[in-house]
Amino acid sequence: MAYTVPKLTDYSAAALDTATRDLLAALDHESAAVKTESEYETLRIRWRARKDGIVTQVNELWLKSAPREAKRDVGQRVNETIISRVDTVLRERHDYVKSLAILKKARAEGLDAGIDAARRAAELSESVDISLPGVRRPIGAEHPVMQTWREIVSVFQKLGYSVAEGPVVETDYYNFEALNFPPNHPARDTQDTLFIAGQQAKPQRERLLLRTHTSPVQIRTMERMRPPIRIVIPGTVHRNDPPDASHSPMFHQIEGLAVDINITFGDLKGTLDHAMKALFGSSVKTHFRPSFFPFTEPSAELYVTCFICGGGGKRGPDDAPCRPCKQTGWIEVLGCGMVDPNVFEFVKDNGYDPKKVSGFAFGMGVDRLALLKYGVDDLQYFFQGDVRFLQQFA
Ligand code: PHE
């Protein structure tokens, strides 16, 4: 019997699972039978027609009538599981139907052409010396920034962190407001932002920009997952910084966030000290200095002993001044701190009551760490795509 979208009365996770599973099973079953363009069109209309298509009915019968508390969960399922699967299945089936048609046409027309092609191939193989060596194509290698990215992520995965990602084009709300940068607050000036043009008509919190850091994904993740959480968030970020030896308008960050009951600054220190030793070797020492970020309190910058001079500030037999650490013996590698209670206020309804939970966060520049790790002295080498440079990391 043909599938019909049921009304939902039970909005528990188990009931939603079953309803979703039945719907997707029907989708698979129906699409498997489609072999021609016109059958495909019928399938597409049945599932995707704006008026009364199955997806529209799901929105009406499941989402619109969901009780308030269930709305977010149902909405997420509908978007992430159902709509995306329906669209993928339709697209794949359409490709399949199209190639069937092409094949059929070729079969009908192509007998002569096929014989011709076979004859030409046979002639060619007589004139080609098959004992010659083939063309050798060089094998590519992972970019040093990506190697570093993967290495950092894996250090945290081994500590039980999972990986989350978020959009590069972000709203003002996630990039600033929910991270406790109030509108017009001067702290916003510390991140030179690239805004998308023509957004003046929208309320400020909805305006789009290129995210200046990976921290907005802290909020996005806390909206999605209840505590306790431990996540790392790698990603691309942009700032209005002209390129030079240590700046680039596009760079990479890895954010970390741990929230639970009784998380302390001691946990933050221990975690990052371990991570730095895992990345740079066990003799590296770490050092925290007070700093300021609107979304952490207290905040700190983490320094590690300079791996060029080993912390002495001088290098070589004639005690030349060490450049990477500006002779201080310490190199700043990241910003961090305890999650500000004001940030939890924005996601309080998802279990983040600032009176009950605490957490720490950190954010590091991947490109910067790759520079230090490989002893490269100009960030721009990473973005120029010069094979002579990249080959050294293969
Ligand atoms: N987002 C901050 C930056 O880009 C770094 C940071 C992340 C600081 C998390 C504290 C906590 O400068």
pLDDT in tens, 251-297: 999 999 999 999 999 999 999 999 999 998 999 999 999 999 999 99
**How does pLDDT run along the chain (394 residues), one tens digit per residue?**
789 999 988 888 888 889 999 999 999 999 999 999 999 999 999 999 999 999 999 999 998 888 888 888 888 888 888 999 999 999 999 988 888 888 888 777 766 666 666 667 666 656 778 888 888 888 888 999 999 999 999 999 999 999 999 999 999 999 999 999 998 888 888 888 999 999 999 999 999 999 999 999 999 999 999 999 999 999 999 999 999 988 999 999 999 999 999 999 999 999 999 999 999 899 999 999 999 999 999 999 999 998 778 888 888 888 888 877 888 999 899 999 999 999 999 999 999 999 999 999 999 999 999 998 888 889 999 999 999 999 998 8
The pTM score is: 0.67
- Ligand 1 center to 362 CA (angstroms): 6
CA 175, CA 182: separation in Å to the nearest integer?
A: 11
Pairing of strands 229-238, 250-260: antiparallel
26-78 residue pLDDT tens: 999 999 999 999 999 999 999 999 999 999 999 999 988 888 888 888 888 88
- Ligand 1 center to 389 CA (angstroms): 30
Q: Which of 189, 193, 213, 251 to mutate to test the pocket of ligand 1 (most atoms within 8 A of CB)?
A: 213
Look at phi and psi of residue 320 and say left if phi exceeds 0, alpha if psi is from -120 to 50, else beta. beta
- Ligand 1 center to 216 CA (angstroms): 10
Dihedral sign, Cα of residue 375, residue 380, residue 385, residue 386:
negative
Pairing of strands 314-315, 208-210: unpaired
238 lines ligand 1 (CB under 6 A): no
Q: Which residue's CA is the closest to the ligand 1 atom numbered 4?
A: 213
What are the φ/ψ torsions at residue 300 (nearest 5 degrees)?
Answer: -150, 160
Write b or e for each residue in 369-381: b if 16 or more Cβ atoms lie within 10 A of its Cβ, otherwise e.
bbbbeeebeebeb
Q: Ligand 1, closest atom to CA 364?
A: 5
The pLDDT, as a whole number, for residue 125 is 59
